[in-house]
């Protein structure tokens, strides 16, 4: 049963916690009050402002997929807005989101929360139950029930069951942008786990098999979104290959990886990951994306930011990028587009610095390995 879009989140929160412990409930918004504003009015104002400030050029070719970050809105929100700026009401009736998992548990293949809707302060986003049911006919996709132990009274409050979807933010953090731009739509939220073969290494066959199932859902009214951050630098991530000129070297890493992604070249991306060993939280989601995209799809990098540069912290940095993929039968330009002139923005916190201009470019036309 689909929940009405007009049902308020407050009403849902007043329901007994046991209602959220089974399939047929609601995925509560993890990001509200932590990664973006908790109040409806403030969130709407923030999202609208980011979208208005976004400088992404209007596309002239069909949009097939978006890659967006899932960091705090104060940093990554402006980047994500670049990808969503030109979406319009009713353009897509369904959105498939491939998210990264930050849970303290390992799982293989793909997992989908067994709920009726995802909640944000801006309302409920209903699941596409038919699409989810179709995917779960395959062993590569599984539905997992929800248990919010902190909302339950008495039973299961000390459950040893590891949470997977309950406190995951990589999907709900991008929903307010989609709610603002698209209005009503149905959601297929997928967390992508380990895609490994018998040698415990990445399995291209498994990624291709998942892509085959998802490709069947990609009609003209469906948008594919990958939620991922890029380079994770610092001891916290066991990745510190250099100790000087930190920000420029992180940017060089980002440029190298993002350019290969924009070229829609799976082999070149794998070569980059193998040689650089750069941690990317949504790497396997990106691998599935590259298996889904047709050869004539190309990517355009629309925005980029590094938390280290933003906060002037050389010990820890996460990179955020927005890239849209379009379909074209024409030869694409081989010369990267120059980055736009720097623009000043109003900081969202006392310690925020003025954002530097994103490194924006269009990929080369040939599907080379560089």
pLDDT tens-digit profile, the chain (370 residues): 344 444 444 444 433 333 333 345 899 999 999 999 999 999 999 999 999 999 999 998 999 999 999 999 999 999 999 999 999 999 999 999 999 999 888 899 999 999 999 999 999 999 999 999 999 999 999 999 888 765 555 444 555 678 889 889 999 999 999 999 999 999 999 999 999 887 888 999 999 999 999 999 999 899 999 999 999 999 999 999 999 999 999 999 999 999 999 999 999 999 999 999 999 999 999 999 999 999 999 999 999 999 999 999 999 999 999 999 999 876 554 433 334 444 444 444 333 322 333 333 333 333 322 3
Mean residue pLDDT of the chain comes to 83
Q: Which residue has the tokens 């709407």?
A: 44
Q: Render pLDDT for 54-98 as a digit per residue (tens, 0 to 9).
A: 999 999 899 999 999 999 999 999 999 999 999 999 999 999 999
Long-range CB pairs of 182-186 (<8 Å, 24+ gap) are 182/87, 182/88, 182/89, 182/90, 182/91, 182/92, 182/95, 183/89, 183/90, 184/5, 185/92, 185/93, 185/94, 185/95, 185/125, 186/93, 186/94, 186/95, 186/125, 186/126, 186/127, 186/128, 186/131
Domains delineated in the chain: 9-362 (3.40.830.10)
CA-CA distance, 176 to 46, in Å (whole number)?
10
**pLDDT, tens digit, 9 for 90 and up, residues 199-257:** 888 999 999 999 999 999 999 899 999 999 999 999 999 999 999 999 999 999 999 99
Tokens representing 18 are 């046991």
């Amino acid at each position: 049963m689909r929940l009405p879009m007009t049902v308020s989140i407050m009403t849902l929160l007043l329901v007994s916690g046991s209602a959220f412990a089974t399939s047929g409930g609601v995925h509560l918004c993890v990001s509200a009050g932590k990664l973006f504003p908790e109040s409806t009015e403030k969130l709407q104002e923030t999202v609208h402002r980011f979208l208005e400030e976004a400088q992404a050029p209007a596309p002239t070719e069909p949009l097939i997929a978006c890659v967006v970050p899932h960091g705090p809105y104060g940093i990554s929100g402006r980047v994500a807005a670049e990808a969503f700026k030109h979406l319009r009401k009713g353009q897509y009736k369904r959105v498939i989101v491939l998210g990264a998992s930050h849970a303290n548990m390992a799982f293989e293949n793909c997992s989908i929360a067994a709920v009726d809707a995802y909640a944000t302060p801006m309302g409920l986003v209903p699941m596409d139950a038919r699409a989810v049911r179709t995917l779960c006919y395959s062993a590569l996709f599984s539905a997992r029930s929800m248990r919010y132990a902190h909302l339950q009274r008495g039973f299961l409050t000390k459950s040893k069951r590891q949470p997977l979807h309950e406190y995951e933010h990589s999907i709900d953090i991008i929903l307010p942008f989609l709610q603002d731009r698209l209005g009503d739509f149905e959601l297929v939220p997928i967390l992508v786990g380990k895609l490994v073969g018998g040698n415990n290494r990445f399995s291209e066959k498994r990624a291709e098999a998942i892509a085959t199932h998802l490709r069947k859902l990609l009609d003209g009214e469906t948008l594919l979104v990958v939620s991922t951050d890029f380079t994770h630098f610092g001891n916290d991530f066991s990745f510190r290959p250099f100790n000087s000129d930190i920000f420029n070297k992180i940017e060089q890493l980002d440029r190298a990886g993002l350019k290969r992604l924009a070229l829609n070249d799976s082999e070149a991306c794998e070569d980059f990951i193998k040689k650089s060993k750069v941690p990317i939280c949504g790497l396997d989601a990106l691998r599935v994306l590259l298996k889904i995209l047709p050869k004539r799809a190309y990517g355009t990098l629309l925005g980029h930011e590094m938390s280290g540069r933003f906060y002037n912290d050389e010990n820890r940095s996460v990179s955020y990028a927005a890239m849209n993929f379009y379909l074209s039968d024409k030869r694409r330009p081989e010369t990267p587009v120059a980055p736009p002139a720097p623009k000043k923005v109003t900081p969202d916190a006392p310690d925020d610095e003025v954002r530097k201009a994103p490194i924006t470019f269009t990929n080369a036309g040939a599907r080379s390995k560089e």
